[in-house]
Structure 1
């Protein structure tokens, strides 16, 4: 290894606030955003459960201990890899807009988009939760343990209590208006109105009872009956009411989809298709970068940061123009990923000058018309890459029966038209809002699993997952070191550099190349698992409370 590469990795390791040792295991691995959730997943694997069994147990515990990021009131995307057949199954549990949703629902009377709090903290923002229906389908097809067993760790944590994590304590401090919701105030705040602090014990008996009902009766508990009626009543009774109905809940169906896959050097990278933009965007950026031989750069080199930012800029321009729910919009997936189209778009990239904000291309075949990530591998080589969300921290800031309702409908564009053109991601009844969630698998030439990864973080999920892939595949970093990489991102605007890390030292040099640069704090939220010989190693983002453990 070159001195330059060694220096780059040394700088990388110095960049993060804590650097966990590489977690390796011969048979199975669980990486998630909280130690209690990871332990729940490992417990299911020890009992002979599959990766899907473990993922459900992990998610249920996360809904208890990390309520600001995910839970049964939200949705998610899950990729499943079959260790025997080497087939990938995609499960779409994205929330849907109610039948009463309208294209201009997030516009004020003057035609301008509503303010953030008006839109998010409202009944209007609540989509039909898809998580439980999706997980029940995945369990029916890939689970071994009884459905009811998978809820036991979460029920114990909710009923007996859990210690407030640093991240949960931070969000409670940042969002004092959560006290306006009585159920949230009673659970997460002291009697005097002050937020519970790190290490305080929280008990959520209402959620324990809800999970007990779901464990014994199945997902339909959330979609039909008293809990469904309470969800509808809460959404419609909000001071800014939404259109969610009992029929919307009863009619919800998860969707199986085909993974979107593409080549990168000697590997195949597979991710989530629309309505997520993550899989397409990551494959576009990798395709744009491939001729630049980025593997010869160290992780924090100026050239690498510049090229990643420029390629990301092009991918986000296309994302914003073309990607939406494929049931409503003809997404030109093949065109966006075609080598000829990427070759043409690559001509806009210069090694020594930023292109600035850029418009979308015209791909072949086009015709006009608060989040968490779980990575798991089981003893049979089955794997799950599962991104789960309620959207903003604490979702719509409404609690029903102990769980938080999502605000996923704010992932739609608030404007149905822009510059005289219909916006692909506009609100429509029954539509799934575009997402950036990017659960990802990497396969070798024989279709054997090399890595499973993904991230939290809104639109920055794409860049975080992309950089981790580059760390794993181009720079041959361990799973933990790739997750730790200082972040550089571009959403077709300013180039963002993670403050307090070596990459921030490139700010002035990037400005000289024409970049508008912002040095900012980065939330992170990655987890990753990578094959090492006959075993596995895992990594979890040091910017959050997660861990990776295996056996």
Structure 2
């Protein structure tokens, strides 16, 4: 169900911050109370009634999932403690959504080293409601001057970290509290230790015997006592230095020199002045496409997740106009019709993957112009029409007919979402390149370094037209990024940011969640004054029926659906790869059969393959959600 939770995998928060204004549309008991002394008993009675009502509403929320109290902020991450910390930045300190985001990310760099580290990378998107604008911050790790992607030396997998520079750029643009105020939750976790999240231990068990980072997993496994990881004094000291001095020590000072020295000890030459000190955060313009009455804004390369999702959803809308599906059958969950919709989504994803596999770093002085040209062509109406025409409703595309697809997968990544009722939505996609990054911790600082160089194409340059190959200063592709959605004709209608974990699988998850929200989840229960969309007539089709535009947005109901995802896996006893549709436990068997009948290779999985979350506003009401399995890692107020 999403919305209103407390503490588990991906963690959310609503609360009552005195620093944030109440929803101006809210009606309530206090509207009718006068302030005369004669009415003091009535006021006391009113307080008691309100407290009782709120308590009862929260209990209803916890057990039944539908909101009874309008929240004023949500915070989603993969640590309940860190989400709570972001909430307190707003409720106790008076910070905004950007402050909360930064505090949560810093906290995660201590408590979730499998996916976040001070030596990692990130993409940040901030939406400003008053100005109706999106600000994007590209803090992807870049290739150092010395690289060798064929080497087994883990030090060659490390890219120049961008995370801290990205956080500082977001703070410089939107932070309200001082930079140093945002470090305390992270410092406390490093100084005193932290309770280890079950998901962290799950990742530890997964990699402990099989990857270059197994020594990090062993360290966590051996040092956890009664669920508590011990203090990390070196990391705490590093965080204190960064809090008081900013990021200068990291990129052009003692901390950076420590990274250079560490790499030198491992046989890889870095130069402080040539690698770290020249790092830049880029500010790209967002892409824009329409789908089912919504406009989708995303990142450009190298964060191609938004490009991919926007293209797939917009092309699906085009296909649903050319060959309409029956909206009533979709709304009622008729397996054959839903399977047909999912088939289209899968095929369009395959075709779009071919195009994003050929992209690279748009800022690169040698190949950047080619990347921009390919990206523009990919987003053009002519190309999109061509892709739509290639989709058949009775069979799947063969892998050989698709062209080159980069099989690079992305583990070791997560996301953070924050929203306030006032003005800002802040979001981050965070990348380490693999679980626990490179596994390299710098001496005396406790900083865990990324493995972003592994995100460059693994195919020989001669076998592909991909531009995703290493070169000094170049940034690898990442199949992730936050994505902003808004109703196209109602700028004060639905406005929200969605994000996901697990690279391609997460982006497919976003596409599926939003497809169901936009097109066919019409029979959901809406809350408060929100209008429930009527069930479509038997004649209505996806050509005209867009139930989410003028009514409540059923994101939580969509998140509750069992999902499929897509992976590109090696064929056994072959050098080839193939697309496989992965199904979550509980995925409807009739829809599974429909996909198999159309020719898809379908495999059931034992665990969900990605996490999807969304936060934003409907009119001026704060909304947010993440799937039920992850609600305990979130906070709200």
Same fold (TM over 0.5): yes
Further displaced range: 181-190 or 150-159: 181-190
Superposed displacement of residue 20, structure 1: 8.7
Q: Distance in 1 between matches of 2:345 and 2:65?
A: 27
Q: Distance in 1 between matches of 2:298 and 2:401?
A: 24
| Match in the other structure for 2:109 | 63
Further displaced range: 495-504 or 244-253: 495-504
The answer on whether the counterparts of 1:345 and 1:361 sit within 8 Å (CA) in structure 2 is no
Q: Distance in 2 between matches of 1:176 and 1:495?
A: 27
| Match in the other structure for 2:600 | 515
The answer on whether the counterparts of 1:33 and 1:540 sit within 8 Å (CA) in structure 2 is no
Question: In the alignment, does 2:288 pair up with 1:256?
Answer: no
Question: In the alignment, does 2:386 pair up with 1:344?
Answer: yes
The answer on whether the counterparts of 1:325 and 1:431 sit within 8 Å (CA) in structure 2 is no
| Match in the other structure for 1:494 | 579
Please give the TM-score of this superposition, normalised by the length of structure 1: 0.84
| Match in the other structure for 1:115 | none
| Match in the other structure for 1:213 | 241
The answer on whether the counterparts of 1:289 and 1:308 sit within 8 Å (CA) in structure 2 is yes
Question: In the alignment, does 2:347 pair up with 1:310?
Answer: yes
Distance 1:310 1:178, change over 3 A: closer
| Match in the other structure for 1:374 | 416
Superposed displacement of residue 206, structure 1: 2.0
The gaps in structure 1 that reach 5 residues or longer are 1-17, 109-117, 363-369
Question: In the alignment, does 2:167 pair up with 1:140?
Answer: no
Aligned with 1:257: secondary structure?
coil
Superposed displacement of residue 334, structure 1: 2.7
The answer on whether the counterparts of 1:33 and 1:545 sit within 8 Å (CA) in structure 2 is no
Superposed displacement of residue 80, structure 1: 0.9
Aligned with 2:176: secondary structure?
coil
1:104-158 deviation per Cα after TM superposition (whole angstroms, max 9, x unaligned): x2237xxxxxxxxx37xx0010000001111111111111100000001111122
The gaps in structure 2 that reach 5 residues or longer are 1-61, 405-411, 522-547, 569-577
Question: In the alignment, does 2:624 pair up with 1:538?
Answer: yes
Aligned with 2:141: secondary structure?
coil
Superposed displacement of residue 528, structure 1: 1.2
Of 32, 55, 66, the match for 2:77: 32
The answer on whether the counterparts of 1:376 and 1:529 sit within 8 Å (CA) in structure 2 is yes
Q: Distance in 1 between matches of 2:269 and 2:554?
A: 47
Aligned with 1:190: secondary structure?
helix
Q: Distance in 1 between matches of 2:431 and 2:349?
A: 23
Further displaced range: 178-187 or 385-394: 178-187
1:93-492 alignment to 2 at 5 Å? 93-101=139-147, 105-107=148-150, 118=152, 122-177=154-209, 184=216, 188-190=220-222, 196=224, 199-238=227-266, 241-247=267-273, 248-290=275-317, 291-292=319-320, 297=330, 301-327=338-364, 328-329=367-368, 330-331=370-371, 332-357=374-399, 370-400=412-442, 401-419=445-463, 421-444=464-487, 445-448=489-492, 450-474=495-519, 475=521, 478-491=554-567
Aligned with 1:494: secondary structure?
strand
Q: Distance in 2 between matches of 1:271 and 1:488?
A: 23
Please give the TM-score of this superposition, normalised by the length of structure 2: 0.74
Q: CA RMSD in A?
A: 2.8
Superposed displacement of residue 50, structure 1: 1.9
Q: Distance in 1 between matches of 2:439 and 2:484?
A: 33
Q: Distance in 2 between matches of 1:197 and 1:535?
A: 43
- Whose Rg is larger? 2
Superposed displacement of residue 180, structure 1: 8.5
Distance 1:489 1:523, change over 3 A: closer
